[in-house]
Amino acid sequence: MKNIKMFIGMLILSFLGSACNQNEFFELQNPPQAPWQTLADLEKAPIGAYYGLSGNGGFQTIFGCGRFIGELYADGVTLAPQSEGFSVNGDAEDMYTRATAGTEIQLYNNSMFNSGYFAIGFANGALDFINAANDNPFPNQPGSMPEVARIKGELYFVRAYAYYWIARAYLPVYPNDEKRVPWRINQATNFEESIKSELASSNDIYQQIIDDLAKAKQLLPERFDKAKHNPSYEDGRANKFAAAALRAKVLFHMGMHDEALTELSFVIDQNGGDYDLSEDPIQAWNKTGVARGKEVIWYYTLWAGDGLGGTSNWKHPRRFEWYSAGNQDSQNPANNGGRFVPLSTSMLQTVGWMDYNKAETAEATMDKRYNQIFLRLEAPLNFSSRLPGEEPRSQFQPTEPYVWGHKYYRSGVARSTNLPILRLADIYLLRATINALKGSVAAARSDLNIVRNRAGIGDYVGADADLLNAIEVERMKEMALEGDRLYYLQGLKKNIPNGDRGAGTVPYNSNFYSEVPQYETTINQGYIVASGN
């Protein structure tokens, strides 16, 4: 852990400069050397970039917070009642009530803005270094160029992933040309550049993301090969299929369906058997170390927090406990004091897991997902003597049953569960959606049925006219509490249902984003230039 902290410090000093020294720092006769003098040194660059995504502390990760915001604005969750002393996070409540227009959502700042640009900074510095050397920074190390190419691909991938969430958190839905966020695609080389950046719009950022991911897909290998790759590459790092999967999701959001379909089919049909839906749903969520479920295309490994093979676990992302039946230290729901976002009654009834008397349905009991990665708890009949199957926390006193997510923290060992980020079920359902929109009914049904049969509920037997809605319902079940719902509907330009808030919908392009942090708009001179002041 000390090594990674020292490495981060070197990068910050080498590339960001010091406000105290200002221009004098950049005018040194013998400025610091780049920290990558060998291929082994350069291997630390993508590790640092991935590390940046996970932020400075367990709460401050893109992974947890990003999923949270993707649910709160949509219709798949609700706010559970809290007893005295247990209140909902204020930002979370504002997002759920959709009262965030024109406001700075503090919850985003460390987890999304700081972590995102931290990762982007790491990636930019190393990319500039590699590009300046014409992709051959170590000519005296024969055979290094393939590994440099792989590292370069990872850096493009991480930069794209960071911008993917910055765009979601701080920008209007695509397409939109309002320039709002800092656009950093190179490392600052002097003090003036370090305090002033161009600003970018949704149009700019989404194009940058798909360009970066195209490069990443070209450069990355299909899978880890211990005969070719650094051993650290085996552990939760992106490959060609991860780049294609993420690119497909972004292209879908942009409405570029033909291009997305190409990437989706590449992932599904050309992965060489590395990914399939042959395992039960829980198998994606109960792994630790270098293990992964067969459907998991990319995951964040939580067992080695510094990414260098250590045993530290302090980088274990949190926030998931806000909507998880278990928390980071235990699978026991009684220990989770932070829960306040269960699945909405609206969602449960829409997908057929709850009837209008709020009873569990036969369809729910047949579905492996419902049984393996969700947990229904009944309202206690007697608050002082709770029975098995009832809500166990004395401080939480619901008067009706709730269904909690039970995907997270499932390895059985405290603070050690890997986090699936890109999954094959998502990719199948996206391809099914696009094919249904294009009128390719047989192909859409086939992909939908692969997901349904993995869940144990059999083929879809409804009418073709209802196929698109059936795919959407299946996606609600499959992707619940993974931050998907809002962005899927926005990709289809469908208005967002109110869910448990009441009848009706709100426009898909409503203000579902935060103002940029005030500290950034105050310090970054690019905002002053943009405002004309």
- Helix H, strand E, coil C: the string for 338-379 is CCCCCECHHHHHHCCCECCCCCECHHHHHCHHHHHHEEEEEC
What's the one-letter identity of residue 425?
A: A
SS (H, E, C) 261-322: HHHHHHHHHCCCCCCCCCCCHHHHCCCCCCCCCCCEEEEECCCCCCCCCCCCCCCCCCCHHH
Crossing angle for the helix pair 2-11 and 44-53, nearest 10 degrees?
90
- Tokens 């409503």 locate to 510
Each residue's pLDDT tens digit, 184-223: 999 988 888 888 999 999 999 999 999 999 999 999 999 9
Q: pTM for the full model?
A: 0.91
Beta partners for residue 82, in sequence order: none
* CB contact set of 190 (below 8 Å; sequence gap of 6+): 17, 23, 26
- Token readout for 202 is 């949704």
Helix (H) or strand (E) holding 207: helix 202-219
Q: Which of 509, 451, 449 is nearest to 479 (CA)?
A: 451
Q: For every one of its 533 residues, what pLDDT tens digit does the chain have, with 9 covering 90 and above?
A: 334 443 444 344 334 433 334 444 444 455 556 789 999 999 999 988 998 888 776 567 888 888 988 999 999 999 887 655 556 788 889 999 999 999 999 989 988 999 999 999 999 999 999 999 999 999 999 999 999 999 999 999 999 999 999 999 999 999 999 999 999 999 988 888 888 999 999 999 999 999 999 999 999 999 999 999 998 898 889 999 999 999 999 999 999 999 999 999 999 999 999 999 999 999 999 998 888 999 999 998 864 444 444 444 446 677 787 888 887 776 666 566 667 889 999 999 999 999 999 999 999 999 999 999 999 988 876 666 777 788 777 666 778 898 999 999 898 887 788 899 999 999 999 999 999 999 999 999 999 999 999 999 999 999 999 999 999 999 999 999 999 999 999 999 999 999 999 999 999 999 999 999 999 999 998 887 676 66
- Token readout for 91 is 């930002």
In three-state secondary structure terms, 210 is helix
* CB contact set of 12 (below 8 Å; sequence gap of 6+): none
Q: What ranges make up the beta strands (E) of 353-447?
A: 374-377, 402-405, 419-423
* CB contact set of 438 (below 8 Å; sequence gap of 6+): 257, 261
CA distances (Å), 335 to each of 144, 327, 338, in order?
A: 50, 7, 9
- Token readout for 83 is 């007893």
Between CA 142 and CA 138 the distance in angstroms is 8
Cβ density class 223-259: b for 16+ within 10 Å, e for less: ebeeeebbebbebbbbbbbbbbbbbbbbbbbbebbeb
Between CA 179 and CA 163 the distance in angstroms is 14
Each residue's pLDDT tens digit, 129-187: 999 999 999 999 999 999 999 999 999 999 999 999 999 999 999 999 999 999 999 99
Q: What percent of the chain has pLDDT over 70?
A: 85
Helix (H) or strand (E) holding 300: strand 296-300
pLDDT at 417: 86
**Inter-residue contact 210 to 250 (CB < 8 Å):** yes
**Inter-residue contact 527 to 197 (CB < 8 Å):** no
How many CB atoms sit inside 10 A of residue 221's CB?
16
- Token readout for 233 is 């590459």
Between CA 510 and CA 496 the distance in angstroms is 9
Q: What ranges make up the beta strands (E) of 361-463?
A: 374-377, 402-405, 419-423
Helix (H) or strand (E) holding 321: none
Using omega within 30 degrees of 0 as the cis cutoff, is the peptide bond preceding 146 cis?
no
CA distances (Å), 6 to each of 34, 108, 316, in order?
A: 14, 27, 20
- Dihedrals phi, psi of 168, to nearest 5 degrees: -70, -35
